[in-house]
Structure 1
Amino acid sequence: MLNFTFKNQTEILFGKGQLSEVSLRLPAKAKVLFLYGGGSIKKNGIYDKVNTALEGADVIEFQGVEPNPEFETLMKAVQVARENDVNFILAVGGGSVIDGAKFIAAAVNFEGDPWDILIKGAAFENPLPVGAVLTLPATGSESNGNSVVNRKETSQKRAFSSETVQPVFAVLDPEFTYSLPPRQVSNGVVDAFVHVIEQYLTYPVNAPLQDRFAEGILQTLVQEGPKALATPEDYDVRANVMWSATMALNGLIGKGVPQDWGTHMIGHELTALHGLDHAVTLAIVLPSLMFVQRDKKQEKILQLGERVFGIKEDDKDKAIDLTIKAVQDFFESMQIKTRLSDYDIEKSAIDGLVENLERNGLTALGEHGDIDLVKAREILTLAA
């Protein structure tokens, strides 16, 4: 096992009725930026519940954070926060809203162009505290310091990470996920699954506990994910999916082990250039990446196949093929297609994707840094 440090500062408020705890966790004389997305929370009743929970605080609303939050939109929210002397951000939504809140928190007191936080890793000071009310389990953003922001005008999707913008608390009420459209349920389960894979499917370092943690999350998602589509108001199913998605990327399972993240980096270019849902890009890229990297990942692919999908096959090559197919079949069972052609993206588009990887300096991906532009092209061609 590799050396590591681990600290998770987010207080998880899990279960029915936990939203009522929010008022006790706001700063004195709270001036809250209530941040949310397209307005679905006004239709499902969550908006009214949040406003009830915020009674007594000075609340400024900002609506309109997009899936794959846009830099321009977030900068408008930054201006609102500055003009109103906000001292707390409450993000109500999924990973995009929470990611957006983290960027706003970092940018409010930043001198200069806040894009530098994403593009140059610029340091920032005195970020605003963030809280989260999760309505779409997927990214784990509610209990980590990661933020991904899109910028259409430059066709870039960039990220930063800092524990200083990690939510101080997160409300996880499974009932808040009942009204999610099937597409968002599917995306959330697949996103969480691939988060685990990125931290698990590398090479052995004698970290059996981390492996078992990861396999437990993967097994739960494989078993419960399709049920979430079939029985959308099954509290236990929703609770298991929600907690799995949080545990997938709260930092725990990645400690002491190598990590990959090549699938995410390649996938980000599909979102930036073609507007595909984040989880869709992961479902397209991962099976092909597993195939191209099968020799480097052999031991862990075989372990994944046996322990998560119950594949027992003496022929290692056949076992690897069956495991890759099992992953692909799982994505399909979650109603997500796994080919570029399924989304009318031609092979000719691969040139632009590879060029964008090069432009963004993403030329040595994976746990070994050996996914260069040639391999990236091979992965994308195989996924066509």
Structure 2
Amino acid sequence: MQNFVFHNSTKIIFGKDQEQVVGQESVAYGKKLLLHYGGGSIKSSGLYDRVVSSLKEQGVEIFELGGVKPNPRVSLVRDGVALCKENDIDFILAVGGGSVIDSAKAIAAGCKYDGDVWDFYTGKAAVTDSLPLGVVLTIPAAGSESSAGTVITNEEGSYKRATGHISLRPRFAILNPVLSYTLPSYQTACGVTDMISHILERYFTNEKNVELTDRLSEATLRTIINNAHTVLEDPTNYDARAEIMWAGTIAHNDLLDTGRIGDWGSHDVEHEISGIYDIAHGAGLAIVFPAWMKYVYKHDINRFVQFANRVWDVEIDLNNLEKTALEGIKRTEQFFSSIGMPIRLEEVNINEEHFDEMAKKGTERGPLGNFVKLQEKDVRQIFNLAK
């Protein structure tokens, strides 16, 4: 087990009607607030009115910036940075899912920097401080509500890149499972896939003695899998929604990282796809992850056997470990398909046109992943397995 320091400062406020306390939580950080959100769904659902009412009860002055898109754009982030600097904003409140939260984090970092915020995502500069921010979560998926990371897309060149810093962890996150009742089935399934992928990125490690976090990861995976079909078939099942929402947070709050070094190659590969084609991140991961598994499983076949057995209840064939490992990969792929996710690039109308470009861009700053280091030729082969 690796040495580690675990410190997650995000206050989780979980349960029904908890968005009603957003005003008293936010005012602790100042009186001038940027309310950041996506489209019109928070208004049509009534959530916007409840949030604004709670903020105004505390005497908070509200500035607004909506329009966040899936795969959030750096152009809107730049607008947000300018708005915050011009109005001396104290605090940012993100109301939405991972895209809104990631955009808010980028704005928060940019407010403490004199250069262009995109510098953080190219490695030209490092985040050292940010404005405080809070979250009202509406889409369980990305886990960004208590993580230290953010992913942004630059329309110029279709680059999708990540950065992070401990100051980007939200000060609080309000998680009301009821707010996810009206999510379209496809968006729910994308969220399920995203959180599963966050766990798998950590699970496939070269660190050998990490039994506790292995079993925590396996339990979280099984919880998500066990509740996924329920929320798709019965969207207002509170208990299942609650399990999914909390699991999504646990999947990416760094608890499952402790003592181990995760991979993250599949996320980087998927970023190249959604950077160009703008597909949902979860859908891209459902395509990429099984392809990555097929490409790397021989690197540590025992870990893939353990995954197949503990997560999918595949009986271990001691005479043919490869058969067991491959069955686990097959069941992963079948599960994604069963919840309506694509598992091949052709299902989302992506052909080989940009394979070489994506492989080159993805590795231009060095190989991807840690479980197996992926060079340009390896990424190209993963695209081939995914087509």
The TM-score with structure 1 as length reference comes to: 0.97
Q: Which segment drifts farther, 228-237 or 372-381? A: 372-381
| Map of 1:334 onto structure 2 | 339
Task: Indicate if the aligned counterparts of 1:263 and 1:286 stay in contact, CA closer than 8 A.
Answer: yes
Which of 333, 357, 374 matches 1:352?
A: 357
Task: Indicate if the aligned counterparts of 2:31 and 2:61 stay in contact, CA closer than 8 A.
Answer: yes
Query: How far off is 1:368 after superposition?
Result: 4.2
| Map of 2:154 onto structure 1 | 151
Report the 3-state secondary structure (helix = DSSP H, G, I; strand = E; otherwise coil) of the residue aligned with 1:294. helix
Query: What letter matches 2:326 in structure 1?
Result: D
Q: 1:256-297 CA distances to partner (integer Å, 9 max, x unpaired)?
A: 012100100000000111111111111111111111101113
| Map of 2:143 onto structure 1 | 140
Query: How far off is 1:337 after superposition?
Result: 1.0
CA change 1:107–1:332 in 2 (3 A) is same
**What is the distance in 2 between the residues matched to 1:317 and 1:369?**
18
Regions of 4+ moved over 4 Å: none
Is the counterpart of residue 15 in structure 1 residue 15 in structure 2? yes
Report the 3-state secondary structure (helix = DSSP H, G, I; strand = E; otherwise coil) of the residue aligned with 1:154. coil
Report the 3-state secondary structure (helix = DSSP H, G, I; strand = E; otherwise coil) of the residue aligned with 2:33. strand
How does 1:26-65 map onto structure 2 within 5 Å? 26-27=27-28, 29-55=30-56, 56-65=59-68
Q: Which runs of 5+ in 1 are unaligned?
A: none
Q: Which runs of 5+ in 2 are unaligned?
A: none
| Map of 1:208 onto structure 2 | 211
Report the 3-state secondary structure (helix = DSSP H, G, I; strand = E; otherwise coil) of the residue aligned with 1:68. coil
| Map of 2:188 onto structure 1 | 185
**What is the distance in 1 between the residues matched to 2:124 and 2:137?**
27
Task: Indicate if the aligned counterparts of 1:36 and 1:65 stay in contact, CA closer than 8 A.
Answer: yes
Task: Indicate if the aligned counterparts of 2:32 and 2:61 stay in contact, CA closer than 8 A.
Answer: yes
Task: Indicate if the aligned counterparts of 1:78 and 1:107 stay in contact, CA closer than 8 A.
Answer: yes
Task: Indicate if the aligned counterparts of 2:29 and 2:132 stay in contact, CA closer than 8 A.
Answer: no
| Map of 1:5 onto structure 2 | 5
Query: What letter matches 2:350 in structure 1?
Result: I
CA change 1:206–1:29 in 2 (3 A) is closer
**What is the distance in 2 between the residues matched to 1:34 and 1:370?**
40
Query: What letter matches 1:374 in structure 2?
Result: K
**What is the distance in 1 between the residues matched to 2:209 and 2:283?**
32
CA change 1:6–1:311 in 2 (3 A) is same
Report the 3-state secondary structure (helix = DSSP H, G, I; strand = E; otherwise coil) of the residue aligned with 2:72. coil
**What is the distance in 1 between the residues matched to 2:268 and 2:379?**
10
Report the 3-state secondary structure (helix = DSSP H, G, I; strand = E; otherwise coil) of the residue aligned with 1:127. coil
| Map of 2:324 onto structure 1 | 319
Q: Percent identity?
A: 38
CA change 1:128–1:337 in 2 (3 A) is same
Q: 1:305-333 CA distances to partner (integer Å, 9 max, x unpaired)?
A: 11111000312111111111100011111
**What is the distance in 2 between the residues matched to 1:67 and 1:188?**
12
Report the 3-state secondary structure (helix = DSSP H, G, I; strand = E; otherwise coil) of the residue aligned with 2:93. strand
Query: What letter matches 1:41 in structure 2?
Result: I
| Map of 1:194 onto structure 2 | 197
How does 1:205-244 map onto structure 2 within 5 Å? 205-244=208-247
Which of 296, 300, 305 matches 1:297?
A: 300
Is the counterpart of residue 91 in structure 1 residue 94 in structure 2? yes
**What is the distance in 2 between the residues matched to 1:301 and 1:137?**
27
Query: How far off is 1:30 after superposition?
Result: 1.2
CA change 1:17–1:259 in 2 (3 A) is same
Task: Indicate if the aligned counterparts of 1:143 and 1:167 stay in contact, CA closer than 8 A.
Answer: yes
**What is the distance in 1 between the residues matched to 2:51 and 2:86?**
23
**What is the distance in 1 between the residues matched to 2:352 and 2:19?**
47
Query: How far off is 1:59 after superposition?
Result: 0.7
Report the 3-state secondary structure (helix = DSSP H, G, I; strand = E; otherwise coil) of the residue aligned with 1:86. coil
Task: Indicate if the aligned counterparts of 1:27 and 1:88 stay in contact, CA closer than 8 A.
Answer: no
**What is the distance in 2 between the residues matched to 1:291 and 1:369?**
12
Query: What letter matches 2:361 in structure 1?
Result: N
| Map of 1:382 onto structure 2 | 385
CA change 1:121–1:209 in 2 (3 A) is farther
Q: 1:8-29 CA distances to partner (integer Å, 9 max, x unpaired)?
A: 0000000012122222222365
How does 1:251-330 map onto structure 2 within 5 Å? 251-314=254-317, 315-330=320-335
